[in-house]
Amino acid sequence: MCIRDRAMDAIQAKLTNRQKDLENKKVELSKIIEKTEKEETKLAKESDKAKKDIDDRILKSYEKIRKTSVSYTHLPGCEKASQKMKSFHWQK
């Protein structure tokens, strides 16, 4: 065998291994997506319920921030704040 054939065989072996890795990752990803879809629909339902209790002006501002932001790291406390608002009773 010449050097070119040996190099081609080595590259082919690496390609085969990478394709196996890719297939394994695709299966793993599909399992993760399947799990998170259930959780996502549950959270969407909870979100819809919570939206009914929040003032429209505040909700629109929140949604605007969510849509325009690249990373949602600046909104981590909203869940805690909404929970506090549910337990807070306005005095009349």
pLDDT digits (tens, 9 = 90+) for 4-15: 999 999 999 999
Indicate if the pLDDT at residue 65 is higher than 90: no
Q: Are 51 and 82 in contact (CB under 8 A)?
A: no
The residues spanned by each domain of the chain are: 3-68
Report the distance separating Cα 12 and Cα 34, nearest Å: 33
The pLDDT, as a whole number, for residue 68 is 81
Task: Give CA angle at 71 (23, 59), nearest 5°.
Answer: 120
The pLDDT, as a whole number, for residue 70 is 67
Indicate if the pLDDT at residue 46 is higher than 70: yes
Indicate if the pLDDT at residue 91 is higher than 50: no
**Token duo for residue 78:** 């909203």
Q: What percent of the chain has pLDDT over 90?
A: 37
